[in-house]
Structure 1
Amino acid sequence: MCPPSQLTSTSGPAPSSRVYNENVPQSPVSQAAFDHASSILAPSILSHSMRVYLYAKALAEHSGSIYATNLTKHDLLFTACLFHDIGTTDEYDGSQRFEVEGGDAAVKHLSRFDISEMDKHDVWTAIACHTSPQIAERIGELSKLVRVAVITDFGLKSSAWDVLVPLREQLEKELARAEIEKVLGDVVVEQAKRRPEKAPMASWPGVMYKAHLVEPEWSGVNKMF
């Protein structure tokens, strides 16, 4: 596997290819998902997505989830984690909020393989709902795994905190945070500035866009991140 071409960008330091070689599942579905995501995601968002996967994997293994024990289901977990922020890229900067664009991108990817419609829908739901607290945790098992992993990476406690927090030091050493909060927040707001319809009022992009409009000169991490 070749290192992602974008890893030389200024959006963060480049993890070694060893980190990816050791952690990306070797199945065709997951390899293709990584190859695509790593070619277009900002480096800090790619590292975040990999940390999310590793948190979700650890939680699935801890709970004995089918997403850990079944290869096909594990491909779904990996794809959902790697694509959960892919809607922030120029390639998937459509008219819908970035979470929905990411879900659609994942379904398009999985449609290249022998994946059932139900499984594709579960991946779509996990991505589309990952910024929706109290909904993602209950709408499905895959959605819960992705949501808990995402909030863990941003330092928010959940019922799985004690299981996952011991991983943080090592993961952040190998996959540096690289100002992920600012990078991710800024790109979501920039998309909303170009297309306000991507930031509905009651959505996570919407509240961040509103914070930007209230204080456009602010240069730090979005205050509603």
Structure 2
Amino acid sequence: MTHAPSSVAGIRVPDTALAREATELVRDTTSELVFHHSRRVFWFGALQGRNRDLGYDPELLYIGAMFHDLGLGERFRTSGRRFEVDSADEARRFLQEHHVPEDSGRRVWTAVALHTTPGIPEHMEPEVALVTYRISNAATSSVRSSTPPGRNEPDRRLAVPPKGAGRVSGPG
């Protein structure tokens, strides 16, 4: 797998045991494409949180972003459920195993489960809205138009997939 930076545009991946374990789990169970896409979801959400002066928990945003497409994996192909629900359930299971408070787990579950549902998450907790922000704007230019002047350059850098990876062309 290619090198994964820990910081982009002044936004750092949370340096916690929980974030490191989530990184390892997603890196080991998804493709390089999904792994890097998930990291970009975190960075775009965190940039929007910073740009909008939202109070959000960076660790919960990171977990939501990293798990949001986990349900697309081979392991879930026969579950019969929406991939968003499989992804959300895996995130909740991970957080429960790490004794994260129930309310935090609920916020991450909701962020992941609703990440392909436009119009609702933006009215919820910041972590929910910010995971969804990158997803709902992935194929539009609204990232640039909603970014304050002087903040466009990081968005352009984040939009470029890592060398050798293609763009995500499916849900999420």
Question: Considering the TM-score relative to the shorter chain, is it more than 0.5?
Answer: yes
Task: Give 1:57 shift.
Answer: 1.1
Q: 2:156 is matched with which residue? A: 169
Task: Give 1:91 shift.
Answer: 2.8
Hey, which of these two has a bigger chunk of helix by percent?
A: 1
1:33 to 22, 26, 37: 22
Q: Which has the higher contact order (CA 8 A, sep 6+)?
A: 2
Q: What amino acid is the match of 1:168? A: D
Task: Give 1:86 shift.
Answer: 0.6
Structure 1 position 110 matched with structure 2 position 98: no
Q: What amino acid is the match of 1:79? A: I
User: Which residues of structure 2 form unaligned runs of 5+?
Assistant: none
Q: Which has the larger radius of gyration?
A: 1
User: What is the number of residues matched between the two proteins?
Assistant: 165
After superposing on structure 2, the runs of 4+ consecutive aligned residues of structure 1 that deviate more than 4 Å are 20-23
Q: Distance in 2 between matches of 1:95 and 1:174?
A: 31
User: Which residues of structure 1 form unaligned runs of 5+?
Assistant: 1-6, 8-13, 68-72, 186-203, 205-225
What TM-score do the two structures reach when normalised by structure 1?
A: 0.65
Q: Distance in 1 between matches of 2:141 and 2:27?
A: 26
Structure 1 position 83 matched with structure 2 position 67: yes
Sequence identity (%): 21
Structure 1 position 126 matched with structure 2 position 111: yes
1:74-114 Cα deviation digits (max 9, x unpaired)? 21110000000110012344221000000000001111223
Q: 1:154 is matched with which residue? A: 139
Q: Secondary structure at the match of 2:142?
A: coil
Change (3 A) 1:31 1:160: farther
